[in-house]
């Protein structure tokens, strides 16, 4: 089941670099969710849409006063070897007659998962990229030998033929992350020559449902085109999220979003095991309440607008039924449902609490496999 809500509007926006090297960025009159993973470089102007605190070491300042040292440089030094740059030609660039298109390139960032060359990044970083190269922190370049992509989560796995790489340490969960705690973002902003750039900020919010299938971490650490696929780090040097998008508009600043570590791990496990995400679905299309769409607090249920799968029909679900709970848990948004379904696989059975023809009823439903089609999607975003 695709997980974008009706209200979400996404724009994949690249930064354009002209012959002079001057930067120009597109701006919209209203805030839009902009995926930051691909920074596009072109001779011709081509528009691309698209913790716990660690114990700080003590040092002695002038006058012999003991003060806490800054752990940020140490974290950056430790984690940077686990961050890579990814660059290649885009399908969009190759399809246009632009003469010498050697500079029609797009790039992003990745994080080393395993020492034998497995790397996690965003799907929108590598999707449609040809002749791609991965550049490690020591300046070595590698071709991508294998890749697996999941569009729904925007997580992708790529493989390079390398050994003895330094994997990043992922936090077991981002559930212990606190709003206000310091974070560091590493990536490749704007120009590929700026690999392993670091920015610092705080966690601005948690459990954000913004143009995404699953809940996101919000941060004010600067995340620019080319940063997507890079890590968001806590003060232990652990990856708590993979940077994916930001809001971009005139007057809107420092609103970046990262995919939480547990969602990354969920997708990665599935990709390693199946080569795809074996994602379950209820087999119905769902409409969120007005409150859920505009972001008001509340637990108003969703309404079934279409019954799609044979399993859902067999369970006795009907158009117009109102869904209150799944396995005893209140569900009021598509994102809520997607988060819950991460614990299941197709073929398993769940219990639904519904209002049907004015009566409160329960139904046993065998989960179908999400095909990613619009019929399974429920509420979908309008892509700009």
* 228 classed as catalytic: yes
Under a CB-based contact definition with an 8 Å cutoff, are residues 243 and 232 in contact?
yes
Percent of the chain with pLDDT over 70: 75
156 close to 122: Cβ distance less than 8 angstroms:
yes
User: Does CATH number 2.40.10.120 belong to domain 1-51+69-276?
Assistant: yes
Catalytic residue among 154, 321, 336, 370: 154
Structure confidence by residue, pLDDT tens digits, 340-373: 999 999 999 999 999 999 899 999 999 999 986 4
User: Do residues 31 and 248 lie in contact, with contact meaning Cβ atoms separated by under 8 Å?
Assistant: yes
Higher pLDDT among residues 142 and 69, named by residue: 142
pLDDT (tens digit, 9 = 90+) per residue, 177-234?
999 999 999 998 877 877 888 999 999 999 888 888 899 999 999 888 889 999 999 9
- At 6 the three-state DSSP class reads coil
Token duo for residue 122: 């965003």
Please write the tens of the pLDDT for every residue from 92-125.
Answer: 644 455 555 677 788 899 999 999 999 999 999 9
pLDDT of residue 327: 95
Break the chain into its structural domains and give their ranges.
1-51+69-276, 280-374
CB 196 within 8 A of CB 218: no
The verdict on whether 107 is a catalytic residue reads no
**Cβ-contact 218, 206 below 8 angstroms:** yes
Contact yes or no for 247/204 (Cβ under 8 A) = no
* Cα R_g (the chain), whole angstroms: 22
Class of the CATH domain delimited by 280-374: mainly beta
User: How far is the C-alpha of 16 from the C-alpha of 46, rounded, in Å?
Assistant: 7
Annotated catalytic residue within 34, 42, 124, 321: 124
pLDDT of 182: 95
Is the confidence at residue 275, as pLDDT, over 90?
yes
CA distance 192 to 125: 13
Q: From CA 203, how far away is CA 234, in angstroms rounded?
A: 9
- Identify each DSSP E strand in 54-176 by its residue range: 58-60, 66-68, 83-90, 105-112, 118-122, 129-135, 141-150, 155-160
158: its two tokens: 């790529």
Residue 235 has pLDDT above 60, yes or no: yes
| Torsion (CA) 161, 162, 165, 168 in degrees, nearest 10 | -10
Half-sphere exposure of 29 (CA within 13 A, CB side): 0
Rounded to whole angstroms, the Cα distance separating 287 from 334 reads 8
> Lowest-pLDDT range, 58-67, 164-173, 261-270, 280-289?
58-67
| pLDDT higher at 263 or 95 | 263
- Worst-scoring range by mean pLDDT, 36-40, 288-292, 347-351, 356-360? 36-40
Catalytic position from the list 197, 228, 244, 379 = 228
Strand 231-233, strand 83-90: pairing? unpaired
The pLDDT assigned to 33 comes to 58
If you average pLDDT over residues 326-353, what whole number do you get?
A: 94
Average pLDDT, the chain: 79
Model confidence, pTM? 0.78
């Amino acid at each position: 089941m695709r997980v974008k809500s009706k209200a979400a509007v996404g724009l994949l926006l690249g930064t354009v670099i002209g012959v002079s090297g001057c930067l120009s960025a597109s701006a919209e009159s209203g805030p839009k969710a902009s995926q930051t993973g691909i920074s596009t470089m072109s001779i011709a102007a081509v528009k691309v849409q698209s913790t716990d605190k660690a114990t700080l070491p003590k040092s002695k300042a002038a006058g012999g006063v003991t003060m806490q040292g800054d752990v940020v440089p140490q974290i950056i030094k430790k984690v940077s070897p686990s961050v890579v740059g990814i660059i290649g030609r885009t399908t969009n660039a190759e399809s246009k007659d632009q003469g010498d298109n050697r500079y029609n390139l797009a790039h992003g960032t990745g994080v080393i998962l395993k020492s034998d060359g497995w790397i996690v990044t965003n799907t929108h970083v590598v999707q449609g990229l040809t002749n791609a190269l991965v550049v490690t922190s020591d300046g070595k370049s590698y071709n991508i030998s294998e890749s697996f992509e999941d569009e729904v989560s925007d997580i992708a796995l790529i493989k390079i033929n390398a050994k003895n790489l330094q994997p990043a340490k992922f936090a077991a969960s981002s559930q212990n992350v606190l709003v206000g705690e310091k974070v560091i973002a590493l990536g490749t902003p704007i120009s590929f020559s700026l690999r392993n750039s670091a920015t610092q900020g705080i966690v601005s919010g948690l459990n954000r449902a913004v143009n995404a299938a699953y809940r996101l971490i919000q941060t004010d650490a600067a995340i620019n085109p080319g940063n997507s696929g890079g890590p968001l780090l806590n003060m232990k040097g652990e990856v708590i999220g993979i940077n994916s998008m930001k809001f971009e508009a005139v007057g809107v600043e420092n609103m970046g979003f990262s995919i939480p570590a547990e969602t990354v791990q969920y997708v990665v496990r599935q990709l390693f095991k199946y080569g795809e995400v074996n994602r379950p679905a209820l087999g119905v299309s769902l409409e969120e309440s007005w409150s859920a769409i505009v972001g008001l607090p509340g637990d108003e249920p969703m309404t079934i607008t279409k019954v799609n799968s044979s399993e859902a029909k067999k369970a006795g679900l009907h158009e117009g039924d109102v869904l209150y709970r799944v396995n005893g848990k209140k569900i009021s948004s598509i994102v809520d449902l997607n988060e819950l379904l991460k614990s299941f696989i197709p073929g398993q059975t769940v219990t639904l609490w519904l209002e049907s023809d004015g009566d409160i009823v329960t139904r046993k439903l065998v989960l179908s496999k999400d095909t990613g089609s619009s019929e399974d999607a429920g509420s979908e975003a309008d892509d700009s």
